[in-house]
Amino acid sequence: MQRILIIAGVVAALLVIVLANAFYIVRLDQQAIVLRFGQFQYAVNASTGESRGPGLHFKWPVIETVLHYDKRNQGFDLDKLEIQAADQQRLIVDAIARWRIADPIQFFRSVQSESNGITQLRQRMEAALRGQLGKVNQPDIISGQRAQLMQRTKTALQALMADLGVEIIDVRIRRADLPPENSARVHDRMKSQLQQKAEQYRGEGQGLFLSITGEADKQVAVIRAEANQTSQKLRGEGDALRNQIYASAYNKDPEFFSFYRSLIAYEAAIKEGTPLVISPDSDFFKYFGDSDGRR
């Protein structure tokens, strides 16, 4: 009896193990393929071709195996790849890629596991970067044509990865630096170029300054000449009018006009503290006498 119980227990345990291996689950963010003796049978939750839906599934124990693949977008970092640009300048490039397994059947037939797929991605991404970045000069890689270069690299990498059942979503260069031994030399060259440009701009600015100031001085001279001409004309007209008024006043009362002119002369000539030596008989003081003409 005890022997029968032991045998029954062993059978029950084997049955539980078999049943446990007969069922498998594929999540929504996963895709899987079922193999029978290493040969593909069907796909589960795949994006392409005929496929069963996600969830709980049955497989034949022992003779069938299940390979799970991630269905989500995945990131890949490619660190410190040294490339040579078209102008023979070397750069250390740090790039990233976003990719996903679009066809799990093709992926299995090409590389089988995700680790092998990542190895292939690394090799082919290096080839795509070298091929595309090697066609342009260093300044364009660093700043000039970064977006266009990344689009061309993505297209080239997608062509290389298509036979693996992989879709390349995006490729980005995070950094593109000069090798340490070249940094000082490039820095000096850039400094020299900037100094040359500064001298050029300074010379152009000085020439423009002289041109503007010369034109301004010319305009000032013209304006002054025109103003002097106008002032001389107005002064002449004023003098003529003054003489006309003087002449008119003189003709009306010559004696008063002479007296008025003498007062103006006294105001202009006689200042406080200024000694004058003039003969008493001078006509200058003829109006300082009394009504009889005595001084």
21-70 residue pLDDT tens:
788 999 999 999 999 988 989 999 998 778 889 999 988 888 889 999 99
Report whether 174 contacts 129 (CB < 8 A).
no
pLDDT surpassing 90 at residue 159: yes
Residues contacting residue 173 through CB under 8 Å, at least 6 positions apart: 93, 94, 95, 141, 146, 149, 150
Q: With CA atoms as reference, report the closest residue to 179 among 262, 84, 51, 265.
A: 84
Least confident window among 74-78, 142-146, 246-250, 269-273: 269-273
> How far, in Å, CA of 223 to CA of 285, rounded?
47
What average pLDDT does this structure show over 214-239? 89
Report whether 76 contacts 97 (CB < 8 A).
yes
> How far, in Å, CA of 267 to CA of 13, rounded?
142
64: alpha, beta or left, given left = phi > 0 and alpha = psi -120 to 50?
beta
242-293 residue pLDDT tens:
777 777 776 776 767 777 777 777 666 666 666 766 666 666 666 665 555 4
* Residue 89, token pair as written in the block: 């300048």
DSSP state of 142: I
What average pLDDT does this structure show over 201-211? 90
Report whether 170 contacts 154 (CB < 8 A).
yes
> How far, in Å, CA of 13 to CA of 17, rounded?
6
Residue 201: per-residue pLDDT:
92
Q: With CA atoms as reference, report the closest residue to 172 among 144, 138, 136, 147.
A: 147
CATH fit for domain 74-178, picks 3.30.479.30, 3.90.850.10, 1.10.300.10, 3.30.1490.20: 3.30.479.30
DSSP state of 283: G
pLDDT surpassing 90 at residue 88: no
* Residue 70, token pair as written in the block: 């991630």
Residue 283: per-residue pLDDT:
61
What one-character-per-residue DSSP string does 56-123 give?
Answer: EEE--TTTEEEEEEE-S-EEEEEEEEEEE-TTS-EEEEEEEEEEEES-HHHHHHHTSSHHHHHHHHHH
Least confident window among 15-24, 70-79, 128-137, 162-171: 15-24
Question: What ranges do the domains of the chain cover?
Answer: 2-70, 74-178
